[in-house]
Every structure is written in structure tokens, then in C-alpha cells.
């Protein structure tokens, strides 16, 4: 998000001061039509996009700030959040270039000389999200993770770091449970993992290893309407899934 001084009245709540030079950047991920998607904001009267984010208030924890920002953008208050990296390089992006692009929105003289950003990724149910822009943006929209435009600040880099963290954490974070609908097919679950990992997986090995974990319950109904054989629907056994996460034994890729 923008890195502006606390003295900017657009950012400061009249009753709440901000922590100087500390911001959050949030990668909100959803899975829809076999695509991993990320929520982006388009700045007012521009064609410039960036991640949702914002400053941290003096009277809130960084986790509470992330929850607040995510609720404002998605309408959800029960979101899986994971802090994954602190972006603290001295020169993270071309400050003069960003000032020029956003000069009609913010006074360039009020920008921080430097800002440190804490990165969070959030895994959400795509169908439950109501994308909502903020006071500085005209649009809040889902983008396919493969088609992300050139973003402001260092946000393309932040997304790549988030995806790397997500790949490393597949075996001990509730990835499928948060990104898939309540009922799904094994091919849909495999596609989710392939999209995150950015590589193909052998279907027979994937299904054999996954079913061997004992965390899925097969339903008597099938997914109908596809071009191929109608596969059975599954759902996670929440108790066994959470036990597997706690024990860290869900690694099967």
C-alpha cells in the first residue's frame, strides 16, 4: 500500500495515530473455475493496480490490523491469515516514479523516505467475498494469478514471495480447506495443488497418497455436467484434517 507520513489527514483517524513507517501488504487468494486468483485494487482515476494494504494503528496488533484491512476489502471476518515475510529493504521500489503516478491522489511531499511492510497471505472462499474498494481506489477485482499486470510499489515481488511461502507450507497449512468449496472432486483438488505448485502432478499418485492420509470423506453423489466421467464428490473430515495439520504429517507431494 502507499507509504505516507502520519501527518497526512487522509490516513490518520482523528482519534487514532499510526505507527510511523510500518505498513501491511495483503495477498488475498481465492480459487475459482480451476484458477488461483488474487484480489487487487485499482487507484482512483488511474490504470494503476496494487495489493490491498495499509498502515497499522498505535492501538492494534499487526494481526488485528491485517484482519481489519481484509474485512474492509472482502466483507469477511473469519479469514485464514498467515504472516510470511517482512519487506524491509532500504530501496524497495522507485519512489519518484510512484509519486508521479499517484500525485493527483497524494501530496508527494508527505511520502515516507522509507517504509517497512509486513506481508500476509489470506486464503478465502471465493464465493463468499464481496470485493470492495477503499477511499483511494475505484475498483477491487479478482485477477488470475497467471495474468497479474505490472503493479505499483514492489507488489509483483511480494506476490511471488507469498506463493513461494505457500508452496513450502502446503503440508502444514489448511490450504485446501480454505480455498475449496465444502464439496469438491479429486481432480479439482489436484488442480488447486498444481496451480499453487506451478507444475503437473500424476493423477494416480496424487489420489493414492491423498486418500492414504485419511482426511477425506467420499460422498455418495457425483459431479455432473462435465465432459468426462462424473467423478465422486468429497469433503474434508475436519477433525482428522486439523489433527494432521497439528502433527505436520500432511506432506504427500
Containing H/E element for 80?
A: strand 80-87
pTM score of the predicted model: 0.86
Structural domain boundaries of the chain? Answer: 18-168, 175-247
Residues in Cβ contact with 103 at an 8 Å cutoff, skipping those fewer than 6 apart: none
Q: Read off the C-alpha cell for 183.
A: 464439496
Q: What digits encode the pLDDT tens for the residues 9-58?
A: 444 444 459 999 999 999 999 999 889 999 999 999 999 999 999 999 99
Assigned architecture for domain 175-247: Orthogonal Bundle (1.10)
Check if the beta carbon of residue 87 is closer than 8 Å to that of residue 158.
yes
C-alpha cell at 76: 469477511
For strands 116-123 and 18-32, give the pairing: parallel
Distances (CA, A) of 236 to 33, 84, 188, 244: 19, 25, 13, 12
Q: Which three cell numbers stand for residue 50?
A: 496494487
* Architecture of the domain delimited by 18-168: Alpha-Beta Complex (3.90)
- pLDDT tens figures, 138-195: 999 999 999 999 999 999 999 999 999 998 887 777 788 888 888 999 999 999 989 8
Amino acid at each position: 500500500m502507499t507509504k505516507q507520513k502520519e501527518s497526512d489527514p487522509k490516513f490518520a483517524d482523528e482519534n487514532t495515530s499510526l505507527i510511523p513507517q510500518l505498513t501491511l501488504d495483503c495477498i488475498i487468494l481465492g480459487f475459482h473455475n480451476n484458477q488461483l486468483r488474487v484480489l487487487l485494487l485499482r487507484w482512483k482515476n488511474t490504470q494503476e493496480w496494487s495489493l490491498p494494504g495499509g498502515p497499522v494503528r498505535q492501538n492494534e496488533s499487526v494481526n488485528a490490523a491485517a484482519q481489519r484491512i481484509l474485512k474492509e476489502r472482502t466483507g469477511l471476518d473469519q479469514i485464514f491469515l498467515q504472516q510470511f515475510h517482512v519487506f524491509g529493504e532500504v530501496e524497495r521500489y522507485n519512489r519518484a516514479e510512484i509519486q508521479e503516478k499517484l500525485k493527483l491522489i497524494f501530496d508527494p511531499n508527505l511520502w515516507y523516505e522509507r517504509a517497512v511492510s509486513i506481508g500476509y497471505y489470506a486464503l478465502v472462499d471465493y464465493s463468499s467475498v464481496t470485493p470492495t474498494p477503499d477511499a483511494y481506489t475505484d475498483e477491487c477485482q479478482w485477477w488470475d494469478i497467471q495474468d497479474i499486470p505490472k503493479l505499483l510499489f514492489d507488489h509483483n515481488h511480494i506476490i511471488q514471495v507469498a506463493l513461494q511461502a505457500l508452496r513450502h507450507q502446503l503440508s502444514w497449512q489448511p490450504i485446501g480447506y480454505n480455498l475449496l468449496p465444502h464439496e469438491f472432486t479429486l481432480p479439482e483438488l489436484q488442480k488447486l495443488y498444481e496451480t499453487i505448485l506451478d507444475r503437473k502432478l500424476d493423477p494416480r499418485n496424487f489420489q493414492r497418497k491423498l486418500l492414504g492420509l485419511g482426511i477425506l470423506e467420499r460422498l455418495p453423489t457425483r459431479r455432473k455436467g462435465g465432459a468426462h466421467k462424473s467423478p465422486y464428490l468429497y469433503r474434508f473430515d475436519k477433525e482428522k484434517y486439523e489433527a494432521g495439520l497439528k502433527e505436520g504429517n500432511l506432506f504427500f507431494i
